[in-house]
Structure 1
Amino acid sequence: MANYQFLEPLQFNNGITLKNKIVMAPMTTMSSFYNGKITQDELNYFAARAGGPGMIVTSVANVSDNGKGFEGELSVAHDEMLPGLKNLAATIKKDGAKAILQIFNAGRKSTSQVLRGETPVSASAIAAEFPPDLETPRALEEEEVEQIIKDFGAATRRAIQAGFDGVELHGANTYLLQQFYSANSNQRSDEWGGDREKRLRFPLAVIKEVTETIEKYATDSFLLGYRISPEEVETPGIRLEDTLYLAETIKKQVDYIHLSMGSYKRTSLNDETDTTPILKKFAEKIADEVPLIGVGSVDLPKDAEEMIDGGADLVAIGRELLREPRWVEKVMMGDEASIRTTMSFADMEELGISGAMQTYLKESFASVMNFTPNGEQAENYQNQAAPMEGFEKKL
């Protein structure tokens, strides 16, 4: 077995220890039932990948009925979801991986069709610029904002009861937590809007609610993570200095911070003169006080090792674990030559990828998957946003 840093254990500040530093990144499966309950297809998908990573973050689950972003999305909005969530946690943990439930409210990144006739909600009644065909959301009333904060707490309670080892707040990819922090989508004049400090109140209130829920219901150590997108491309919008400020503000309130990028080598999308990798900027800002999860275009062990050298404490792998579910095991066996970095349409069922997810990958993410034959090599996302990040920008 090669002597890689990413195969070494990692201990969080609260005592939870991962068997290695590989994290399975959260990926949309589109495979839940219409009501958000877990399917056997999803359980099979996670079971196929549970043996290697030290930690697995689920596909995102909505905490509120008005927070559903797409069909086939997992839900943690009601107690009736608990039996399926228990099966999901147990499936992920069967070989020693820690199970993290990613939770969110999609906000304006939804449609009235998905919400069964209800208008999507957001901080303000401002439509997203990308994709350009999304409808204008309805601004949340103050009491609705308070209710969604409570919904995040209730979802955390359910995650604890289901046996998960933690929750990850999805504050990235232009979803509701990010919408409140952004001057683009939040132009409120009440206590939840205004300058940067005021726009940060909603994310901080959610963190506080979730923390109090963990303290009340968790009998063992339980992780709280936060995922962030480094910057937005809209004007006005979030810039790197804003997200670095967010990271510095929350670093003592969460157990880890998780970047969302298409490449771990990414540099600023808004300042072409800034050649410092974003990963390095965040590593320096949190200064080893809380683990940082890097992500984006890790295919081979050398990429994972380079990410750690670049400042990441943990390495999140997404697309490559779709193509190669036993990536970690093959590295540990010294069988790196057999690692697949391309995917055949003919292999997807064997890889535990459901029919719904197969269609999703073919139609929406063909450009990032390294499909064969006649597929396109995935683009280099060092200087552009990847499709899964919720916006589009190329330098």
Structure 2
Amino acid sequence: MTEKYNFLKPYTFKNGVTIKNRIVIPPMTEAAALENGAVSQDELRYFNIHTGGVGMFIIPTMNVSDNGKGFEGEPSVADDKFMPGLKKLANTVKQNGTKAILQIFHAGRMSNSKILRGVQPVSASAVAALRPNAETPCELTESEIEQIIEDFGQATRRAIQAGFDGIELHGANTYLMQQFFSPHSNRRSDKWGGSLENRMRFPLEVIKRVHAVVEKYADDKFIVGYRISPEEIEEPGIRLDDTLKFIDVLADQPINYLHVSMGYSWRTSLNDKSDAEPIILKVKKVVNNRLPLISVGSIEKPTDVEKIIDAGIDFAAIGRESIREPKWVQKVELGQENSIKYQMSLTELDELGVNSAFFDFLSAMNADLHLVGSDQPKDDFAENLGVVEGN
């Protein structure tokens, strides 16, 4: 029954790590950590319910620095004191062969002084985001930039020691790594800004530091991924040509996969409406088999996933549908596709491990959960809001 789907076949990275199938759960913020950033029991319960079927489960993003927190209920990997919870989390997700990948980030200007308890947010330059009530961040100094790069390295060390199978660097959804690449948020004239090459420097230095930590603390089976958003709608902002040039460089870095963050997997350019070629296929051409790709965005049914794989994309990430149906992969494997749930009821939240904080976060972001009897709008601008599918 399962042989008709190529997405159930395993994939082996160049470092020898085999992923049991081509299905990924992307990092979807659940806003359910303890106030101090420690992993909560509610989070562990949610992951326990939803893991075990997919090949890779990318854990929702954790901040690497105290001033990198982006929202309430966000878990942290910025201190060794969080190790007990991190170890429990890694152990919980690693069931039935599922690989546990921890996404790490710094929110940069996508935070505020309330979330940071009176501390002003930071970014590449003192330019506020074009969002309601956005605060103007402090421009990072050279030493502060170097410290954040080191923070990414130390977060990677903790992920290794906690037992995760890998980390994903969050270079998407308008957060700090993207802020350095963006001509909107980066107006610097030193080596960290200005030219395209200089705007690449911060994420490339983060990759370099992470790679050094992996070589020191892990074996060659540890996975390092990178997540990227292709475009911005701001002016000036990231345009697709610059992104493809950056991806060409990324493909030769010591990373194991590239995760392309979009609200719709077959999306075309936001800025050039005359360009009808899906962005993911443009990325595929540039990468040219140097890295495996993960595509995400409004993928729900087995036929949706198979279309991604048939196009030569290596992995498909199922976001909101994985919330509604924790046993999606298992049901496909057993030939029980007719029993897959594509809607959910408010009465099912507890059995799905979705606590009130998680649900409130999803609702605030207008995430379409296909609630029974709901007229909930679809989040057409999900990636620009830094929302599920995800964060």
TM-score tier after normalising by the smaller chain length: over 0.9
State the partner residue of 2:382.
386
1:43 to 2:39 alignment:
no
Q: Distance in 1 between matches of 2:148 and 2:366?
A: 31
Question: For residues 208-223 of structure 1, what are the structure 2 equivalents within 5 Å?
Answer: 208-223=208-223
Describe the shift of the 1:143–1:154 C-alpha distance in structure 2 as closer, same or farther (beyond 3 A). Answer: same
Counterpart position of 2:145: 145
> What is the distance in 1 between the residues matched to 2:311 and 2:219?
36
Question: Which runs of no fewer than 5 residues in structure 2 stay unpaired?
Answer: none
Whichever residue aligns with residue 306 of structure 1, its letter is K
Report the equivalent of 1:6: 7
Aligned pair in 2 of structure 1 residues 115, 136: CA closer, same or farther (>3 Å)? same
Residue 390 of structure 1 aligns to which amino acid in structure 2?
Answer: G
Tell me which residue corresponds to 2:342: 341
1:161-172 equivalent positions in 2, closer than 5 A: 161-172=161-172
Deviation (angstroms), 1:341? 1.1
Query: CA shift at 1:191, angstroms?
Result: 1.4
Aligned counterparts, 1:88-127, within 5 A: 88-127=89-128
Q: Which residue of 1 aligns with 2:290?
A: 289
3-state secondary structure, aligned to 2:213 = helix
Residues 89-141 of structure 1: CA deviation (Å, up to 9, x unaligned): 00110221011000000000001000010000000000001x22111111011
Unmatched tracts of structure 1, length 5 or more: none
Match of residue 327 from structure 1: 328
Instruction: Point out 4+ residue stretches in structure 1 off by more than 6 angstroms.
Output: none
How many residues matched?
Answer: 385
In structure 2, C-alpha distance between the alignment counterparts of 1:115 and 1:310, rounded to whole Å: 43
Conserved? CA contact 1:124–1:140, under 8 Å? yes
Tell me how far apart the structure 1 counterparts of residues 336 and 66 of structure 2 sit (CA, whole Å).
45
- Contact 2:366/2:378, CA 8 A, preserved across alignment: no
| Matched letter for residue 21 of structure 2 | N
Is the contact between residue 15 and residue 220 of structure 2 (CA under 8 Å) also seen in structure 1? no
For residues 132-164 of structure 1, the C-alpha deviation after alignment (integer angstroms, 9 at most, x for no partner) is 211111101110000000000000000000000
Shift of 1:273: 0.3
Partner Cα distance (2:70, 2:376) in 1: 28
Task: State whether residues 38 and 82 of structure 2, in contact with CA within 8 Å, keep that contact through their aligned partners in structure 1.
Answer: yes
Counterpart for residue 316 of structure 1: 317
8 Å Cα contact 1:262/1:389 also seen in 2: no
By how many angstroms is 1:363 displaced? 3.0
Tell me: CA distance 1:186–1:387, structure 2 relative to 1, closer, same or farther (3 Å).
closer
Identity %: 55
CA contact (8 A) 1:279 1:311 kept: no
SS in 2 for 1:100: strand
- Which AA in structure 1 matches 2:296? V
Could you say which residue in structure 1 is the equivalent of 2:267?
266
Distance in 1 (CA, whole Å) between partners of 2:30 and 2:169 is 18
Mapped contact 1:370–1:378 kept (Cα < 8 A): no
Deviation at 1:219, TM superposition (A): 3.1
How does 1:185-200 map onto structure 2 within 5 Å? 185-200=185-200
Asked if the contact 1:149–1:206 (Cα under 8 Å) also holds between the matched residues in 2, the reply is yes
Structure 2 distance, partners of 1:310, 1:371, is: 31
TM-score (norm 2): 0.96
Whole-Å separation in 2 of the counterparts to 1:188 and 1:312: 36
- Structure 1 residue 370, shift from structure 2 partner: 1.5
- Report the CA distance between 1:8 and its aligned residue: 0.3
SS in 2 for 1:237: coil
Is the partner of 1:60 in helix, strand or coil? strand
In 2, distance between residues paired with 1:351 and 1:140? 41
Amino acid at match of 1:43: L
Equivalent-residue separation in structure 1 for 2:365 and 2:155 (angstroms)? 29
- Distance in 1 between residues matched to 2:152 and 2:186, nearest whole Å: 20
Give 1:374 shift.
Answer: 2.8
Per-residue CA deviation, residues 48-102 of structure 1 (Å, 9 max, x unaligned), is 1112100000000000000000010010000011110000000110221011000
Distance 1:31 1:109 in 2: 19
SS of residue in 1 equivalent to 2:60? coil
**Equivalent position amino acid for 2:100 in 1:** A
The answer on whether the counterparts of 1:6 and 1:305 sit within 8 Å (CA) in structure 2 is: yes
Question: Residues of 2 paired with 1:184 and 1:220: CA distance?
Answer: 37
Closer, same or farther in 2 for the Cα pair 1:377/1:64, shift >3 Å? closer
CA apart distance, 1:196: 0.5
CA contact (8 A) 2:261 2:383 kept: no
Q: Distance in 2 between matches of 1:377 and 1:33?
A: 30
SS at match of 2:73: coil
Q: Counterparts of 2:74 and 2:173 in 1: how far apart (Å)?
A: 16
Could you tell me how far apart the structure 2 residues matched to 1:364 and 1:191 are? 36
Mapped to 1, the partners of 2:291 and 2:195 lie a distance apart of 27
CA offset at residue 362 of structure 1? 2.6
What SS does the aligned partner of 1:57 have? strand
The 1:370/1:387 distance shift into structure 2, 3 A limit, reads farther
CA distance in 2, matches of 1:143, 1:387: 31
Per-residue deviation at 1:378? 3.3
Moved more, 276-285 or 216-225: 216-225
- Sort the Cα spacing of 1:388 and 1:356 in 2 relative to 1 into closer, same or farther, 3 A: farther
